[in-house]
Amino acid sequence: MGQTLAEKVWNEHVVRQAEGEPDLLYIDLHLIHEVTSPQAFDGLRDAGRVVRRPDLTMATEDHNIPTVDIDKPLADPIAKAQVEALTLNCREFGVTLYPLGNIDQGIVHVVGPQLGLTQPGMTVVCGDSHTSTHGAFGALAFGIGTSQVEHVLATQTLPLKPFKTLAINIEGHLPEGVTAKDLILAVIAQIGTGGGQGYVIEYRGQAIRDLSMEARMTICNMSVEAGARAGMIAPDDVTFDYLEGRQFAPKDELWFEAVKHWRTLVTDDDAVFDAEVTIDASSLTPFVTWGTNPGQGIPLGDSIPNPSDFDDPKARAAIEKALLYMGLEAGTSMRDVPVDTVFVGSCTNGRIEDLRVVAEILDGRQVADGVRLLIVPGSVRVRLEAEAEGLHEIFLAAGAEWRHAGCSMCLAMNPDKLTPGERSASTSNRNFEGRQGPGGRTHLVSPQVAAATAVIGRFASPADLTSV
Amino acid sequence: MEPFIVHTGTAVPLRHSNVDTDQIIPAEYLKRISRHGFGDALFAAWRKDPNFELNQPKYSGASILVAGHDFGTGSSREHAVWALQDYGFRVVLSSRFADIFRGNSGNVGLLTAIVPEDFIEQLWDAIEADPTLAVTVDLQQQTVTAGDLSSAFEVDSHVRGRLLKGLDDIGITLSYADAVTEFEQRRAAFLPRIAAPAS
């Protein structure tokens, strides 16, 4: 019987296999950031251990750094201590660090692919659940805990039990104006936040093959919001074109050798997945979450669900609780809900293509009165690229704030936060209670919907804008 | 990790059941950058009560915690184990532990030994009668003895094997270093490297 893509990558990385024991898997790339690494380095130091492969380890600062006044000392003493610890640890253990102020600093999941470090068929780990992003290249990439970070630092391997495989087939083509973000939000709404539990997802089908590399990263990024360990997309010419010429991509003869191998990284025709889901892309429309988990989403044109329409008392109670927290009335049309803040950025939608579509929509328009629009590039290089294209001038002219690179308002670990009761349209990945700040109310959207919403002041798609 | 074969020390009776990890270490202490220094935060809320067992001078220096059933429930935070170890505990005795807590403990070398509930009660009485009572936990024999009291205990056989040899998960993987090195020699030349190995 044939193998799935995930099984091929897994099998290529087994260092040791023994009956009744987890497989020992080799890790090709270990990404590090300031929040989940200090205790792991501490553990190494205690045990007198070294980092086995500093050359396969890369660190940057992203979670708790500010996105304004980045030349000033960090105001938060905890953030400052974590960043300082990362600097000292990387120096002591010989790990390459791209710190604040470096041209290669940024959100770890934006920086890795941008440098060409993420390549097809690799195993990639990081102490962050959105490591699933790198699966867009056909890599097996997943988040790990602090003890596992230490394990990888010391051994460059992890003992792991095999995952199950789930195929999500997206047939047909996405309609005009419907994006990768709408697609993944619709997938999560369909299979639920636990639908991917125990699985590695492989996204397949025409609509996936049609996507750019950056859009594929948006899809794989949110696999974890469906409960999956990882999400993958088979590498193809789109992948190879993106990689060719990047700093850490193979060169010359090695490039041809690599591409030859990468072309074998597809699920065999006779391979069997443990589960399959099929979705018709042509039926999708712009999607928005209304509740307090990424599975609570509806098409932008719909109204907020009514708890009384649900027979199951548990489902009813969950919706009531979410509506109470979100300060929403059942039956309200999404297009009638006003927002206070719009956030464009994060490892989900903080890349250059995201900023380009936002600029296209904002060009010649103004952010609505009373609405704050925060645009945060995912990396320093994304920021520079946007400025070279003049996108920042459009943002500033529209009344948006143009920030420096970082995780920013995705996770309330740095100064960019919602205030209690404030409502946001956000291109990030989680709408949990308090995720963007205590009492904050988050609605997950695509960059297109974010930009149109910023202009109108209520949830909207670009089609709702009158032409300028 | 230090091997654990036999440990003798004094014990603290913790007459509580369902002690969750939020009680062992509250979330506000999770933002630190070290695994150390959590001993001060151990049972932070309860330690505000001067009568709490850990605040009683007669139990100072104890290295064995004798707890009620379902110890370590709730959040998976590894900090709970770090805090117990940092305070000086080598062993926790209970009639039942939460799974994740037990797994975390095994990973970092805190012995969680399962003994019958009536033995816990007898031990509580004995320790309260004489706080200097020496309690011996023998991992080789899987027994706990204290004066006239004695009981067998249960422990996960994988964890027992590792603790006896003083191997943590990393220690075990490091024992396969040859297999890892051999694998590395087979890795494709086109795979990315960020800098020359520090060697």
- Digit-coded pLDDT (tens) for B80-118: 999 999 999 999 999 999 877 887 898 788 999 999 999
Q: How many CB atoms sit inside 10 A of residue A96's CB?
A: 15
Could you tell me the pTM of the whole model? 0.87
pLDDT at A311 over 60: yes
Buried b (16+ CB within 10 A) or exposed e, A135-166: bbbbbbbbbbebbbbbbbbbbbbbbbeebebb
**DSSP element (H, E) containing A90:** helix A77-93
Q: Which residues in chain B are closer than 8 Å to A157, comparing Cβ atoms? A: 173, 180
Shortest distance, CA A163 to any CA of chain B (angstroms):
20
B1-32 confidence digits (pLDDT tens):
789 999 999 999 999 888 888 889 887 677 77
| Half-sphere exposure of residue A47: CA atoms within 13 angstroms, side-chain side | 24
Burial of residue A390 (CB within 10 Å: 0-12, 13-18, 19+) is: exposed
Q: What is the pLDDT of residues A24-33, one digit of tens each?
A: 999 999 999 9
Q: Among candidates A335, A336, A345, which has minimal Cα distance to A416? A: A345
Structure token digits, residue A94: 């010989």
pLDDT tier at B76, thresholds 50, 70, 90: low
- The single-letter code of the amino acid at B193 is R
* DSSP conformation letters of A324-347: HHHT--TT-BGGG-B-SEEEE-HH
Residue of B nearest to A250 (CA): B190
Confidence of residue B77 (pLDDT cuts 50, 70, 90): confident
Higher pLDDT: A46 or A167? It is A167
Q: Which of B33, B34, B168 to mutate to test the interface with A (most CBs of A within 10 A)?
A: B33
- Average of pLDDT values for B52-73? 95
Residue B51: C-alpha distances to residues B43, B47, B48 (Å)? 13, 8, 9
Using the CB atoms, write b or e for A204-217: b if 16+ within 10 Å.
bbebbeebebbbbb
- What angle (nearest 5°) sits at the alpha carbon of residue B25, between those of residues B160 and B4? 20
Instruction: Please check whether residue B193 touches A, CB under 8 A.
Output: yes
Q: What is the Cβ-side half-sphere exposure of residue A306, based on CA atoms within 13 angstroms?
A: 6
Give CA–CA dist A120/A117, Å, rounded.
10
The DSSP bridge pattern shows strands A123-126 and A140-143 to be parallel
- Round the CA-based radius of gyration of chain A to a whole number and report it: 22
Which residue blocks in chain B are alpha helix, DSSP H? 21-24, 79-87, 99-108, 117-129, 157-165, 169-174, 177-186
Q: E strand or H helix at A401, and its extent?
A: strand A401-402
* Cβ proximity of A33 and A126 under 8 Å: yes
Express as a percent the part of chain A with pLDDT over 70.
100
Q: Do B194 and A117 touch (CB under 8 A)?
A: yes
pLDDT at position A467: 64
Residue A251's CB: how many other CB atoms inside 10 A? 11
**Choice among A197-206, A354-363, B92-101, B173-182 with the minimum mean pLDDT:** B92-101
Q: What is the DSSP letter of B110?
A: -
* Phi, psi dihedrals of residue B96, rounded to the nearest 5°: -160, 135
Q: Is the pLDDT of residue B167 over 60?
A: yes
Asked whether the predicted pLDDT for residue A160 surpasses 70, the reply is: yes
Q: Which of the residue ranges A81-90, A347-356, B141-150, B168-177 would you say has the lowest mean pLDDT?
A: B168-177
Query: Which of A445-459, B29-43, B75-89, B185-199 has the highest mean predicted lDDT (pLDDT)?
Result: A445-459
> What pLDDT, on the 0 to 100 scale, is given for residue A385?
98
Distance CA A140, CA A132 (A): 8
CA distance A65 to A80: 8
Number of neighbours of residue A49 by Cβ within 10 angstroms: 17
Pairwise CB contact (< 8 Å): A159 & B78: no
A16 touches B: beta carbon within 8 Å: yes
